[in-house]
């Protein structure tokens, strides 16, 4: 807790839309310690990309109505655009969710990589830099770039270096993007669904590579994925997000041993398996952000919901020393300081049915 690299406090993000204000991010808190990998998992549309793009300042159309984003103790929301831009290049790197729109189609992969190596993070280039770069040999940079492509498991790095993005397969583009993000050895890496186009073996190799880089450079990683298996593999701390709120957070292994929030449990049950087919999924869909429910945002889809759930917002409570869940099935002290006073109003509808019948942590079948 002492001196985290990134601390997001009570972040609220809204969009003006055709049907009114969409309150997409509704008060989330995140802490990324130095050298730690933190994952966010959650359903499509729950606000993962909005969260990370807000951290990087990539959403000019968003209204950040409340909150702070402290990076190395400094509130990014108060920095000038130029300063944020500089941060983004040198210290923070992002692997975007959509490879094609993040790579420039008119330049070859090599041109873009060399460009990153030469200029990225330098908003305005001074004459001394220019002279220095002139003398840094192109061949050396090229070698570095090709080596990075090789590290992300690209089998013909020279060919890919010379290729235009359209000449690459989906998975190759994604790996090029990863390679570009890693070139600068950033302090802080945000990876938004970097593995969606990759097969398990390749993804495993890339996770390993990330691991190495984290070890070597003490990089902190914020990893966005919809895949719980991947999150388990990569992260130290796991945050489960639902409809713009963090509904459960715990050290990764703890969360898998004892999933608490009904949404987390539903996600775990829906994982397709070889033997038992594709699960049914969690019935229902995300609420409308322009007219969100007043109580628990998950209540309409929750098999355990009671009237209290629809009336009172379940703030995150500390259910175990390092485990917090936002659900009225659980008791515990408020996890966040700002909810200290709200505690007496919390209804308790528990214990959770899966704990009442057995003391097993087996996932229940609805």
Partner 1 sequence: MSQPLHTDRFEYAPGDQIQDEIAVFDDKDPLLRVENLSKHFPIYEGIIKRQVAAVRAVDDVSFTVPRGQTFGLVGESGSGKTTLGRSILRITDPTHGTVEVDGTDVTSLSGGALKKQRKDMQMVFQDPSSSLNPRKTIKQIIETPMKIHDIGSAGERAQRVEELLEMVDLPREFMYKYPSSLSGGQKQRVGIARAVAVNPKLVVLDEPTSALDVSVQARVIEILNDLQKRFDLTYIFISHDLSLIKNVSDRIGVLYLGRFVETGDVDSVFQDPQHPYTRALLSAIPTVTDEDRQYKPPELTLEGEIPDPREKPTGCAFRSRCPEAFEPCAEEEPAMYQTDSTRCSRCYLHDEAYQDTGGSDDQ
Ligand X SMILES: Nc1ncnc2c1ncn2[C@@H]1O[C@H](COP(=O)(O)OP(=O)(O)OP(=O)(O)O)[C@@H](O)[C@H]1O
Q: Which residues bind ligand X (CB under 6 A)?
A: 15, 17, 22, 24, 42, 44-50, 61, 97, 166-172, 197, 226, 289
> 337 touches which of ligand X, ligand SF4, partner 1, none (CB within 5 to 8 A by kind)?
none
Positions 304 through 333 that interact with partner 1 (CB under 8 A): none
Q: According to the binding rule CB under 8 A, does residue 31 interact with partner 1? A: no
The smaller minimum CB distance to partner 1, of residues 91 and 269, is found at 269
Q: According to the binding rule CB under 8 A, does residue 245 interact with partner 1? A: no
Q: According to the binding rule CB under 8 A, does residue 171 interact with partner 1? A: yes
The smaller minimum CB distance to partner 1, of residues 72 and 164, is found at 164
The smaller minimum CB distance to ligand X, of residues 22 and 267, is found at 22
Q: Which of 96, 246, 305, 324 binds ligand SF4 (CB under 6 A)?
A: 305
Q: According to the binding rule CB under 6 A, does residue 327 interact with ligand SF4? A: yes
The smaller minimum CB distance to ligand SF4, of residues 88 and 317, is found at 317
The smaller minimum CB distance to partner 1, of residues 81 and 158, is found at 158
Q: According to the binding rule CB under 8 A, does residue 41 interact with partner 1? A: yes
> 328 touches which of ligand X, ligand SF4, Mg ion, none (CB within 5 to 8 A by kind)?
ligand SF4
Instruction: Report the 3 state secondary structure along the chain.
Output: CCCCCEEEEEEEEEEEECCEEEEEEEEEEEEECCCCEEEEEECCCCCHHHHHHHHHCCCCCCEEEEEEEEECCEEHHHCCHHHHHHHHHHCEEEECCCHHHHCCCCCCHHHHHHHHHHHCCCCCCCHHHHHHHHHCCHHHHHHHHHHHHHHCCCCCHHHHHHCCHHHCCHHHHHHHHHHHHHHCCCCEEEEECCCCCCCHHHHHHHHHHHHHHHHHHCCEEEEEECCHHHHHHHCCEEEEEECCEEEEEEEHHHHHHCCCCHHHHHHHHCCCECCCECCCCCCCCCCCCCCCCCCCCCHHHCCCCCHHHHHCCCCCEEEECCEEECCCCCCCEECCHHHHHHHHHCCCCCCCHHHHHCCCCCCCCC
Q: According to the binding rule CB under 8 A, does residue 25 interact with partner 1? A: no
Q: According to the binding rule CB under 8 A, does residue 101 interact with partner 1? A: yes
Q: According to the binding rule CB under 8 A, does residue 293 interact with partner 1? A: no
Per CB under 6 A, the segment of 20-28, 166-174, 279-287, 325-333 that binds ligand SF4 is 325-333
Q: According to the binding rule CB under 6 A, does residue 313 interact with ligand SF4? A: no
């Amino acid at each position: 807790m002492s001196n985290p690299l990134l601390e997001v406090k009570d972040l609220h993000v809204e969009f003006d839309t055709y049907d009114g204000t969409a309150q997409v991010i509704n008060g989330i808190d995140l802490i990324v310690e130095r050298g730690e990998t933190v994952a966010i998992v959650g359903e499509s549309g729950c606000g993962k990309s909005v969260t990370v793009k807000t951290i990087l300042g990539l959403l000019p159309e968003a209204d950040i109505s409340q909150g702070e984003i402290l990076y190395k103790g400094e509130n990014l929301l108060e920095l000038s655009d130029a300063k944020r831009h500089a941060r983004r290049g040198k210290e923070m790197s992002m692997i975007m969710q959509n490879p094609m729109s993040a790579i420039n189609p008119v330049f070859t992969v090599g041109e873009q990589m060399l460009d990153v190596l030469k200029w990225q993070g330098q908003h305005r280039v001074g004459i001394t830099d220019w002279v220095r770069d002139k003398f840094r040999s192109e061949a050396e940079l090229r070698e570095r770039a090709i080596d990075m492509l090789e590290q992300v498991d690209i089998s013909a790095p020279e060919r890919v270096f010379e290729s235009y993005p359209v000449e690459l397969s989906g998975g190759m583009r994604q790996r090029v993007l990863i390679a570009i993000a890693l070139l600068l050895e950033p302090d802080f890496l945000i990876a938004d669904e970097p593995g969606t186009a990759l097969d398990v073996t390749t993804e495993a190799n890339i996770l390993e590579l990330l691991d190495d880089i984290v070890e070597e450079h003490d990089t902190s990683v914020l990893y966005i994925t919809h895949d719980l298996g991947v999150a388990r593999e990569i992260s130290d701390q796991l945050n489960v997000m639902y409809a713009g709120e963090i509904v459960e957070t715990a050290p990764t292994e703890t969360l898998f041993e004892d999933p608490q929030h009904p949404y987390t449990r539903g996600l775990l049950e829906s994982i397709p398996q070889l033997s038992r087919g594709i699960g049914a999924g969690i019935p229902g869909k995300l609420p409308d952000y322009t007219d969100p429910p007043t109580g628990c945002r998950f209540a309409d889809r929750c098999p355990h919901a009671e009237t209290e759930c629809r009336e009172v917002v379940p703030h995150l409570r500390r259910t175990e020393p390092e485990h917090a869940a936002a659900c009225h099935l659980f008791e515990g002290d408020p996890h966040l300081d700002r909810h200290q006073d709200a505690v007496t109003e919390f209804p308790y509808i528990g214990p959770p049915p899966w704990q009442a019948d057995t003391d097993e942590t087996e996932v229940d079948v609805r």
